[in-house]
Structure 1
Amino acid sequence: MPKADEPNDKAFHSLDARLDAFEAKKAAEKPAKAESEKANQDGYRLLADLIGGVLVGLGFGWLLDRYVHTSPWGMVGGLLIGMGLAIFSVVRKATKMSAQASAAAPRGIADGDTGDGPTVPKQKRD
């Protein structure tokens, strides 16, 4: 006569197999999500640097106008200097991030380019 626990053992083994398959699938997806999240974080960081630089320049210009009484010229100068420094900083950081990303990726696969020619699919000929 069979034991009462045997059907439950089969169910547990089936559940364990499905759980292992699910965990393997999640582990395979994790690096792709991590890369995507890192790219988003880098983009937001560059945007924050750009906006922050402009606002800091405006703030210093406003302070200059307030204490030196140079009406709009301090703000205009602060805006221009802040924008220029922010753009310079963002371009420098983006160049550094790009160099790090291309050094980390294997050669030729960094942008999905395998070097096989154009990315447009070839048309079938009759």
Structure 2
Amino acid sequence: MSQPTESREEAIKRLTESASALEARTAREVSQDAAGQAAASQAWRIIADLLGGVFVGLALGFVVDKLLGTNPWGLIGGVLLGFAISIWMAWRTAQRITAQAKASGVEPKSVPFDDEEED
């Protein structure tokens, strides 16, 4: 016994419904993955700010030591100055990220306090 063939319009309607259901299932997964990637990107940006400031200060201190012959004070001062600037840059980046999150209406999830001590 052969199955009744469905009309072209019914087949298109059925395929459209299947495609819509598939899109609804995958859209949520993609948005969660994109949020995770954005958070990781922001974290790497802050780490780069911290390391970059120290390395730039180290390089400038080395150059000052070679030009002025102030071993090791130029290097020490450069590292300290680079560290201070990198902390300031990381703080500024964190403030900008926080302001963007507040403007978009995203409420950060709090991490529950774990009062159990690990042995």
**Shorter-chain TM-score above 0.5:** yes
Return the TM-score normalized by structure 1. 0.70
Mapping 1:35-114, distance limit 5 Å:
35-105=35-105, 110-112=107-109
Gaps of 5+ in 2: 6-10, 114-119
CA distance in 2, matches of 1:48, 1:34: 21
Give deviations 1:40-88, integer Å, cap 9, x for gaps: 0000011001100100000000011111111110000000000001101
Partner amino acid, structure 1, of 2:87: I
CA distance in 1, matches of 2:97, 2:43: 10
Return the TM-score normalized by structure 2. 0.74
The CA deviation at 1:18 is 5.6
CA distance in 2, matches of 1:20, 1:104: 27
Pick 1 or 2: higher relative contact order, CA cutoff 8 A, min separation 6.
2
- Report the secondary structure of 1:71's partner residue: coil
CA distance in 1, matches of 2:47, 2:62: 23
Gaps of 5+ in 1: 7-11, 114-118, 121-126
CA distance in 2, matches of 1:67, 1:61: 10
How many residues were matched structurally?
107
CA distance in 1, matches of 2:58, 2:94: 24
Q: Percent identity?
A: 34
CA distance in 1, matches of 2:48, 2:109: 29
